[in-house]
Amino acid sequence: MPTILPQPYLLFLGDTTEAGFAKTALGLVDWAGDRCVGELAVAGCTVTTGLPRMSPAQARAAGAQSLVIGVANQGGVIGDSWIAALVEAMEAGLDLISGLHMRLAAVSALAEAAQRTGRRLIDIRTPPPSIPVATGRKRSGNRLLTVGTDCALGKKYTALALHRAFVARGVDADFRATGQTGIMIAGGGIPMDAVVSDFEAGAAEMLSPDAEPRHWDVIEGQGSIYHPAYAAVSLGLLHGSQPDVFVVCHDPARTHVLGLDGFALPSIEEVIDLTVHLGSRTNRAIRCGGVSFNTGRYGEETAEALMSAESDRLGLPVADPIRGGAAFDALVANCLA
């Protein structure tokens, strides 16, 4: 994995119509906005990051050094309708950065254009070599893991916000990235969903090694242990992370699994209970520190009333890390308690 990427970025949205599948681009704008100059899309795209639409040549003139594929679609594939725009980007002088499962060089048109233009094809989703099998040994230091009722609803944002809040309180802490966008933001990490299943928990142990007793690793979660397709990644990450504290991330406006309408979301209580049950296998002291709500679809008053009611019902702090405020301060305090 490259830890120094060519920046600034032009963010590519492809033909995305669902914001949840553009989480890489949206995450980079929110957490590394100073490194993003604009966005590029192809016909059919209805999602925007709010950055100016630019051609590759315009972005290059504005200082962009690379195009980041800002899409995280099902299967992690490069769409046929994207290829012409990606080739145009290389011809304009931009390297390509991708966090998809499909390798850039696997597309013959991209491999040929890279050779012709001298531009780099950089795949983020490449695990490190020689990942060990997990031992289950309890490690020193403290760990927090974000878990979810589904994919693409705020586990990365919550981990980043909690890490920032920990540091602001004088806590020695590191953000541990486990997905493509987190790695692009942090400059390093392990793409957990690209790790062979037998080594998943070992990769999590490798990502968060022994630390000083007062140190916290804030680990970006992946998927959901209730997800019909991605639960294996989530469980391996849970066992290997050995979290002392976990925070459940949830979108209260979502009723079904993203992209799988036949599956209703589990309740928050179900996720808490199953996470404690499974997580106690490698850390008997595991506990829930609270709940993170993604309330982006609600107005401020409605969001605050909803979070307050859920906090009373669950007996736990419930907050939206992006909104912050007293509710989020309570969540941070309970995690560190």
Q: Tell me: the pLDDT tens digits for 139-151?
A: 999 999 999 999 9
Q: What is the pLDDT of residues 178-218, one digit of tens each?
A: 998 898 888 789 999 999 999 999 999 999 999 999 999 99
Considering the chain, what percentage of its residues have pLDDT values greater than 70? 99
Rounded mean pLDDT of the chain?
95
Give me the domains of the chain, ranges plus CATH numbers. 9-123 (3.40.50.720), 142-336 (3.40.50.300)
Q: What would the mean pLDDT of 105-131 be, rounded to a whole number? A: 95
Cα separation, 46 vs 209, in Å, equals: 42
Residue type at 226?
A: Y
316 SS3 class: coil
Peptide bond into 228 cis (omega under 30): no
User: For residues 21 and 317, which has the higher predicted lDDT (pLDDT)?
Assistant: 317
User: What is the per-residue pLDDT for 3?
Assistant: 47
Alpha-carbon radius of gyration of the chain: 20
198 SS3 class: helix
Residue-wise DSSP of 79-121: -GGGHHHHHHHHHTT-EEEE-SSS-GGGSHHHHHHHHHHT--E
Cα separation, 319 vs 277, in Å, equals: 24
Q: What would the mean pLDDT of 14-21 be, rounded to a whole number? A: 92
Q: Cβ(211)–Cβ(139) under 8 Å?
A: yes
User: What is the per-residue pLDDT for 2?
Assistant: 38
How many residues appear in the chain? 337
Q: What would the mean pLDDT of 3-26 be, rounded to a whole number? A: 90
Residue type at 63?
A: G
Considering the chain, what percentage of its residues have pLDDT values greater than 90? 88
67 SS3 class: strand
Helices (H), the chain: 23-32, 56-61, 83-91, 108-117, 155-168, 180-186, 200-207, 231-241, 268-279, 300-314, 325-336
Beta 256-257 vs 260-264: how paired, if at all? antiparallel
User: What is the per-residue pLDDT for 136?
Assistant: 97
Q: What is the pLDDT of residues 49-77, one digit of tens each?
A: 999 999 999 999 999 999 999 998 878 89
Q: What is the pLDDT of residues 270-300, one digit of tens each?
A: 999 999 999 999 999 999 999 999 999 999 9
Cα separation, 109 vs 276, in Å, equals: 48
How sure is the predictor about 1, in pLDDT bands with cuts at 50, 70 and 90?
A: very low
Cβ burial, residue 221 (10 Å; 0-12/13-18/19+):
buried
Q: What are phi and psi of 257, to 5 degrees?
A: -60, 135
How sure is the predictor about 92, in pLDDT bands with cuts at 50, 70 and 90?
A: very high
Tokens, residue 316 = 């736990």
Q: What would the mean pLDDT of 78-95 be, rounded to a whole number? A: 97
Cα separation, 289 vs 55, in Å, equals: 45
Cα separation, 113 vs 146, in Å, equals: 40
